[in-house]
Amino acid sequence: MIPSAFPPKSEIARLTARALLEIKAVHFNAETPFMLASGLPSPTYIDCRKLISHPRIRSVLMDFLAVTIMRDAGFEAFDNIAGGETAGIPFAALIAERLALPMTYVRKKPKGYGRNARIEGDMTPGQRVLLVEDLTTDGGSKLSFVDAIRETGASCAHTAVIFFYGIFPETTQRLADHGIALHHLCTWWDVLAEARDQGSFDAATLTEVEAFLTAPRAWQDARKTI
């Protein structure tokens, strides 16, 4: 069913942050930072994939993402919903169902046999494609997925995610330079505010997390040897 209620963006952000905290998708650890795929440390980690195991929260957040897409991009803006391998695939399927649109998915790289394809499902030239993923940090992985979509002759000018780090100022410009608009439900700042309201973590941890969010590159540079 296509959602028809459009809560304020601030309420969507607050409730999304609350939901992510409730299912323990949010992890803060200032003493022993997490190591990111980039090889850099971080006192924060989020696992949006946990949402697929929580049907009530999953349903609400997919409604939120659907209405965010329609409000920000348009009600008839897309012909195809593409999920990025692998975390974006279930969310793309759920959004495609809500928007009554075909769904496809994009591989990170050609599978190496058969058609050697990166696009699975039917995507045709001229289609307007929305790329759906679970989250974005600096936007880097989105560029490769979008390029694969465009190689089919389809267009892709929008990507939608549940969670946007919101702490690297170059991200939205990097996407914009590639002709991509980003739509999201909440950021680390929303999660930090909700964690403080709920008392989800001790004050010292939240203070360290805020220091990281305020100046992430400096925080990481100071701890590269940890």
In terms of Cβ atoms closer than 10 Å to its own Cβ (0-12, 13-18, 19+), residue 93 is middle
pLDDT of residue 36: 77
Domain range list for the chain: 9-221
On the question of pLDDT at 112 being above 70, the answer is no
pLDDT, greater one: 207 or 30: 207
Q: Assign 169 a pLDDT band (cuts: 50, 70, 90).
A: confident
- Domain 9-221 coded CATH 3.40.50.620: no
DSSP characters over 137-186: SSSHHHHHHHHHHHTTT-EEEEEEEEEE----THHHHHHHHTT-EEEEEE
d(CA 148, CA 127): 13
Least confidently predicted of 37-46, 48-57, 188-197: 37-46
d(CA 135, CA 186): 10
pLDDT of residue 110: 82
d(CA 16, CA 29): 21
Least confidently predicted of 67-81, 112-126, 143-157: 112-126
Are the beta carbons of 21 and 13 closer than 8 angstroms? Answer: no
Average pLDDT over residues 196-212: 95
Are the beta carbons of 96 and 81 closer than 8 angstroms? Answer: yes
pLDDT of residue 144: 93
47-100: per-residue pLDDT in tens?
A: 999 999 999 999 999 999 999 999 999 999 999 999 999 999 999 999 999 999
